Structure 1
C-alpha cells in the first residue's frame, strides 16, 4: 500500500458506490494561482491510466459531473493542451504547470480531478483502479458494458422475479 497526499492511504482495487455521502474537497495547483472545490466522497475511487499523457504525467484522477465542481480562482491562469482526438481539454496552470483537473474525452460534461491536488484533511482513503488507456476504446467499451450489467443486475435483484422471467427454463 502506498500513500497519496501526506497521511492518505491508497488501496486497490475497489468500486466506489454512488451511495457514498459527499464531502466538500478544496484543491489547488502548486503555486495556488488556481483554486477549486469539488463534491465527492471522502473515499476517492481514482483511475490510474496508462495512456500516453497520463503515464508520462503519473496522472491519477476521478471524474465528477460539472455540477459538483466549482472553479474558485485562476481561470485566466489556465492553459489548455489537446492532442489526438482533440476532445479532452488538458488544463494546467501557466505558472507552475500542474494539472489539477481536466475535461475528459470520456465525460465532456464533467471534470477529471487530480486527488493529489486536494487538501488531504477531507480524504479518508484513495482507492486506485487501473485503466488500460493504451487501448482506450476497447477498455472504455468494456467498462461501460460492465457498468451496464451491474446496473441491470442490481435493478433486477431489487424487485421480485416472476416465474416467466427466471432463466434456466
Structure 2
C-alpha cells in the first residue's frame, strides 16, 4: 500500500455506484470515529475535498441518511447497502470516503488508524476548553506477522 497515493477509483460492493476520488493527503488521512453510526458501520475513512469526488456511475442509486443535527450526509448504495462516503459534520467542505471501497485498498492495510471523538463532537461543545479530538488508536496486527496484502 502506498500511503501517499492520492488518486483512486472506487465502487460499492455490487458495482452500481462508481466514483473517482482525489484524496487530500492520500491514505495518510485514514481515521475512524466513535459516534453511534460510525461505531456500528466500522469503516476506515479517508479525506477528499467536495470537488475532488466525482460519482462516475450510479448516482441515482445513492441513498442519503442523516441523523442528530442533520449536518453530515451519509451515502449508501440502495442496491447492496454499502456506505461509500459522507459529507462531514466536522468539516462540511470535505467528504469522508470509505477506504474499503477504493480499488486495491483494504481496512486491514492500515497498521494503525486514529479514532476521532464523535461522541463529544466539537460542534456540540458549549465550552471553550481545549480537548483532544482523538480518543484512541485502532491497531491491526496480523496473527502470523505477515502483511494482510500477501494473503488476499
Answer whether TM exceeds 0.5 for this pair.
yes
Change (3 A) 1:84 1:42: closer
Q: CA 1:133–1:33 in structure 2 vs 1: closer, same or farther (change >3 Å)?
A: same
Structure with higher RCO (Cα < 8 A, 6+ apart): 1
**CA deviation map 1:84-113 (0-9, x unaligned):** 001111110000000111111112222110
C-alpha separation in 2, matches of 1:119 and 1:60: 14
From the two aligned structures, give the one with the greater helix fraction: 1
Matches within 5 A, 1:93-132: 93-120=77-104, 126=110, 127-132=112-117
Residue 23 (1) aligns with residue 35 (2): no
CA contact (8 A) 1:54 1:60 kept: no
User: Could you tell me whether the CA contact under 8 Å between 1:62 and 1:115 is conserved in 2?
Assistant: yes
TM-superposition CA deviations, 1:54-89 (whole Å, max 9, x none): 001112212211122111111100111111001111
Flag structure 2 segments of 5+ consecutive residues without an equivalent.
134-152
Q: Which residue of 2 aligns with 1:158?
A: none
Normalising by structure 2, report the TM-score. Answer: 0.70
Normalising by structure 1, report the TM-score: 0.64
- Separation (CA, whole Å) in 2 of partners of 1:142 and 1:103: 23
In structure 2, the residue matched to 1:62 is 46
Of residues 32, 57, 64, the one that matches 2:15 is 32
Q: CA RMSD in A?
A: 2.6
> Highest CA radius of gyration, 1 or 2?
1
Whole-Å separation in 2 of the counterparts to 1:42 and 1:136: 24
Alignment counterpart, residue 32 of structure 2, candidates 48, 54, 63: 48
